[in-house]
Amino acid sequence: MGQLAAHVVTLGHAAAILRLASMQADAQPEANTLWRHAKDIEGLGYASATCNRYSQLLGQAFNWAIQKKQLADRPYIKHLSEKGNVRRGFFEAAAFQALLENLPLDLQDFVHFGYLTGWRKGEIASLRWEDVEIDVIRLREEDSKNEEPRSVPIEGDLQDLIERRKVARRVEKDNTIMLSDLVFHRDGEPVGDFRKAWARACCLAGVGKMLCPDCGISVDADYKCEKCSRTWKYESLRYKGKIFHDLRRTAVRDLVRAGNTETVAMSISGHRTRSVFDRYDIADDRDQRKALRATQTYRQQRAENQNAARSIQ
């Protein structure tokens, strides 16, 4: 198991995988043991899909160990059911504007870029000024999650956003003015984890709430739970609400609803397969109503045409 853990570290998910593979170092785990660990992680509140991604990485580690002749065989790793794994988190325009207004100034353009393009957080953070041309922004292959380069034209709201970033490029450090190499930065430093700022902005915008870790109900502005009367430190609270990835879902949905083809929408957001349109549950009540009206109109026109044809005969 020591060699397996070392390989998992290179995959970047050490903590989660080691929870799944927390067994004796000299033992080769059996399938039912791995299954119990997956169920244990699911019991901590992780989605089935998340548990499956962890166990998938562990399976890759087993394969690596077999190739290196560290293990003779690997157990069968059963996956949890992902039925109903439909993403429904979307931003409507008013909610997004409220979120934007409550974010720190140095995060607003970063988040706005995600809303406009559907790019992933890491992809946006990687952008450097050398990636920005006169009328296009290019994402390098090494900075893309699917290892495929892509580009997006600087059009519409993106024009204003890039102009703001040009102004924000100047950073003062130690009484010296410098130009940041990064398109998006926080006082010249790369944009890192900002979950606390995100959660606070979402709560203020009415699209998120902080929960008591014991009771699971919302706390007040002073982080006090009405039910158990405890006042918590922020770090102890659980956040529930919109997440950054909802911007990606929103961008894809709106690109399609605006009349663009799925192919064009995928070329902007960076999705490789159209399965995202099923998982993101693009259709909603408005789409369904539109479809029913269109079907009714089609049937009426068809009936009228058939009646007209019979009257001629």
- Taking the C-alpha atoms of residue 171 and residue 1, their distance in angstroms, rounded to an integer, is 48
Cα separations in angstroms, 154 against 80, 163, 244, 290: 42, 10, 22, 32
Rounded Cα distance between 63 and 71, Å, is 9
| C-alpha to C-alpha distances, 87 to 39, 133, 247, nearest whole angstrom | 22, 34, 12
Q: Nearest Cα to 41, choosing from 13, 83, 66? A: 13
List of E strands, the chain: 136-139, 150-153, 170-173, 176-179, 185-186, 189-190, 208-211, 238-241
Q: How far apart are CA 79 and CA 52, in angstroms?
A: 6
> What's the confidence (pLDDT) of residue 83?
65
| Domain 87-207+242-282 CATH (choose: 1.10.10.1100, 3.30.360.10, 2.102.10.10, 1.10.443.10) | 1.10.443.10
For residue 234, what are its two tokens?
């922020």
CA 200 – CA 144 distance, rounded (Å): 29
Give which of 129, 131, 110 is closest to 121, Cα–Cα.
110
The three-state secondary structure class of 252 is helix
Residue 275 phi/psi, 5-degree rounding, is -60, -20
Indicate the DSSP class of residue 193.
Answer: -
Q: Is 129 helix (H, G, I), strand (E, B) or coil?
A: helix
Helix (H, G, I), strand (E, B) or coil at 219: strand
The answer to whether the beta carbons of residues 112 and 183 sit under 8 Å apart is: no
SS3 of 173, please?
A: strand
Distance between CA atoms of residues 131 and 285, nearest Å = 40
- Which residues of the chain fall below pLDDT 50? 1-28, 44
Phi-psi region of 285 (alpha: psi -120 to 50; beta: other; left: phi over 0): alpha
pLDDT at residue 86 in the model: 57
**Domain extents in the chain:** 2-67, 87-207+242-282
User: What tens digit of pLDDT does each residue of 163-193 get?
Assistant: 999 999 999 988 899 999 999 999 999 999 9
**Cα(262)–Cα(269) distance, integer angstroms:** 10
- Residue 237 and residue 212 in contact, taking contact as beta carbons nearer than 8 Å: yes
Task: Tell me how far apart the alpha carbons of residues 138 and 128 are, in angstroms, rounded to a whole number.
Answer: 9
How far is Cα 92 from Cα 224, in angstroms, rounded to an integer? 30
Question: How many helices and strands, by DSSP H and E, does the chain display?
Answer: 13, 8
Instruction: Indicate the residue type of 99.
Output: L
Query: How many C-beta atoms lie closer than 10 Å to residue 25's C-beta?
Result: 8
